Amino acid sequence: MLTEEMLREQAGEEIFAKGSAIFHRALVREAKRVRDEQKDEVIYIVSDGERHLVSVSAGQIRCDCGGYPCAHGVAAALMALESGVVQEMEKHLAQLAAPALFQAVASMLPETDGIRLSPALFLTREGLRIGLKIGEDRLYVVRHIPRFLECREKKETLSFGKGFDYHPQWMRFSEKENALLDILAECCENSGAQGLSATDARVMPLPPRAAVRVLESLSGLPFTLQVKGVQYQVQGVKSKTLPLNFLLSGTPQKLTMTAELPENLIPLTKDYRFILADGECLQLPQEEQALVSALHRFSSGRETAVSFSPRTPSA
Ligand SMILES: [Zn+2]
């Protein structure tokens, strides 16, 4: 910070005394103030027989006589000190520096894994939608998923109001959570997320292929799933075979196959790769998908009976 002592030291006793005299004779007046993002300076007119323009900024004093340290410069700087302009400049400079300083410090802080992500899936007639909540102790709804993902990408702070700020500079999600967020970010890029309505930005529709990728990424992540007004707490998507109990009966001419399907079987994707069965979210092996799909379509209640009448080869 510029002080009278520094001026005296810079200019030397003789020039300082001359400058001081000019200042005390009230021969300095402020001509112009320039303040923006880059610059903060005051131009003074010093009229001591000759007329000089002196620019004073937080870091520098320049005089149009070209010879600073000069008496004009000292006079203008004394004026800037006494009128409080220098102090104001320092304050402004500190404000400008704060975000940059914050960024620099933030990148040095240790990463914390205290942040949590809670995905919420919704099965609608049009397909799956996803909403997100994040937070530390309390979870907050992400009101605009594309904007949140942009902040994550650009490492910009996102405020959730009173209780919580998301600082991607040092708040890191787990690897699995990041995989999910990466898929959603890709979705936003492809679908031109700028034009999303407020509802769609909060509970984002997932196109079929994205839905499959999202469900795959949820293999080890707890989430909630809302289907037909019922909310399920799901401990991650599980890969497993559906235990189907088959019963074949009849004669070779007319076979009846009876299979028992789980109660509340709901397909999450049209191909039955992902289903909700008895409150569990399952990823079915490929060979079972078509079978379960066929059985489910023909079923009434828990039991499915399908009769086959093998065609007799025509003679
Ligand atoms: Zn000068």
Question: Are 236 and 254 within 8 A, CB to CB?
Answer: no
Gap from CA of 25 to ligand 1 centroid (Å): 17
CA distance 29 to 42: 10
Gap from CA of 67 to ligand 1 centroid (Å): 6
Gap from CA of 51 to ligand 1 centroid (Å): 9
Gap from CA of 62 to ligand 1 centroid (Å): 8
Reading the block at residue 170, the tokens are 């040092």
Report the 10 Å Cβ neighbour count for 258.
Answer: 13
Gap from CA of 17 to ligand 1 centroid (Å): 14
Gap from CA of 52 to ligand 1 centroid (Å): 7
Mean local confidence (pLDDT), 193-197: 74
In 3D, which of 178, 176, 184, 179 has the Cα closest to residue 121? 184
Mean local confidence (pLDDT), 236-252: 79
Q: Are strands 245-251 and 254-260 parallel, antiparallel or unpaired?
A: antiparallel
Gap from CA of 4 to ligand 1 centroid (Å): 17
What pairs with residue 158 in β-bridges? Answer: 166
* Confidence bin at 314 (pLDDT 50/70/90): very low
* pLDDT (tens digit per residue) in 245-302: 777 777 777 777 777 778 778 999 988 999 998 888 999 998 889 888 888 877 665 5
Is the pLDDT score of 199 beyond 80? yes
Gap from CA of 19 to ligand 1 centroid (Å): 10
Q: Are strands 50-57 and 61-63 parallel, antiparallel or unpaired?
A: antiparallel
Ion ligand 1 neighbours (CB, 5 A) are: 63, 65, 70, 72
Gap from CA of 54 to ligand 1 centroid (Å): 7
* pLDDT (tens digit per residue) in 180-191: 999 999 988 876
Question: Are 243 and 291 within 8 A, CB to CB?
Answer: no
pTM for the whole thing? 0.60
Rounded to 10 degrees, what is the CA torsion of 16, 19, 23, 29? -130
* pLDDT (tens digit per residue) in 88-98: 888 887 777 77
